[in-house]
C-alpha cells in the first residue's frame, strides 16, 4: 500500500487529467450535457470526498507530526471550503450552462491552488517529519476511506472554520492542556 502522501499525489494527478478532459469537452460546440455529467459527477464527488478524507486522516497527523504546520493547515481547510463552494455552485445549475461552467472553474481554480500549496508545503513537511510506517498506515486508512465513500452520501460536507478546525485537533492532541474538558477553546500561545 502506498503511503498517504503518494495516494494524495495520485488523486491530484487524477484531478488534473479530469479537468483537462473537461477542457476538451468545453472546446466542442456540440457537447451533450450527459457527457459532461459522466465526467463531472465522479470528479465533483471525488473532490469533496478527497477533502473530507484529508480533514479526517491527513491534516490531524500533519498537525501532530509536522514542523510548524498550523498555517499550512489553515490554508488547506480554507481551500477545501472554496473547492466545495465551486462544486456546490456547479450543482445548483443546469449541466453545461454558463453558471455551471463558472462553478466548475471556481472549483478548478481553488483545487489547483490547493494542490500546488499542499504538494510544496504540507506533503513535503509530512514526508520530512513523519515516520514511514505512520505514512503507510495512514495510506491504508486513506484508501479505505476513499473506497468506502465513492460519493459524499452520509458524510459531513459542510464548510469548516479553519481556526476552529485547528483548535479542535490541537485540543485532541493535548487533552491535558489548560482547556481540557472546559470547552473554552485553545489557549495555546498565552502566558500561563
Per-residue model confidence as pLDDT tens digits over 83-132 = 999 999 999 999 999 999 999 999 999 999 999 999 999 999 999 999 99
Q: How confident is the model at residue 152 (pLDDT cuts 50, 70, 90)?
A: very high
Overall average pLDDT of the 37-59 stretch? 98
CA distance 6 to 33: 33
The C-alpha cell at 118 is 499542499
Tell me the residue length of the chain: 192
User: Are 59 and 76 a contacting pair, CB within 8 Å?
Assistant: yes
Residue 177: the pLDDT is: 56
- In this model, does residue 162 exceed pLDDT 80? yes
Angstrom CA distances, 55 to 24, 48, 67, 157, 191, stand at 32, 11, 18, 11, 30
Residue 98: the pLDDT is: 95
Nearest one of 186, 189, 169, 140 to 72, comparing CA atoms = 169
CA distance 134 to 191: 33
Higher pLDDT, 78 or 190: 78
Nearest one of 11, 158, 166 to 75, comparing CA atoms = 166
Higher pLDDT, 185 or 12: 12
- In this structure, the number of other CB atoms found within 10 A of the CB of residue 46 comes to 20
Give the predicted TM-score (pTM) of the model: 0.89
CA distance 163 to 71: 10
CA distance 62 to 68: 9
Amino acid at each position: 500500500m502506498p503511503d498517504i502522501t503518494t495516494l494524495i499525489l495520485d488523486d491530484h494527478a487524477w484531478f488534473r487529467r479530469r479537468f483537462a478532459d473537461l477542457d476538451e469537452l468545453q472546446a466542442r460546440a456540440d457537447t451533450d450535457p450527459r457527457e459532461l455529467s459522466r465526467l463531472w459527477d465522479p470528479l465533483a464527488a471525488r473532490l469533496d470526498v478527497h477533502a473530507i478524507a484529508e480533514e479526517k486522516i491527513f491534516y490531524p497527523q500533519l498537525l501532530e507530526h509536522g514542523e510548524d504546520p498550523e498555517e499550512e493547515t489553515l490554508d488547506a481547510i480554507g481551500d477545501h471550503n472554496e473547492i466545495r463552494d465551486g462544486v456546490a455552485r456547479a450543482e445548483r445549475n443546469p449541466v453545461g450552462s454558463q453558471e455551471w461552467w463558472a462553478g466548475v472553474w471556481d472549483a478548478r481554480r481553488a483545487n489547483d491552488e490547493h494542490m500546488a500549496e499542499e504538494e510544496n508545503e504540507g506533503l513535503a513537511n509530512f514526508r520530512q517529519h513523519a515516520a514511514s510506517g505512520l505514512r503507510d498506515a495512514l495510506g491504508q486508512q486513506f484508501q479505505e476511506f476513499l473506497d468506502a465513500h465513492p460519493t459524499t452520501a452520509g458524510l459531513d460536507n459542510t464548510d469548516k472554520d479553519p481556526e476552529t478546525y485547528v483548535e479542535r485537533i490541537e485540543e485532541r492532541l493535548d487533552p491535558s492542556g489548560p482547556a481540557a474538558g472546559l470547552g473554552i477553546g485553545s489557549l495555546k500561545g498565552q502566558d500561563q
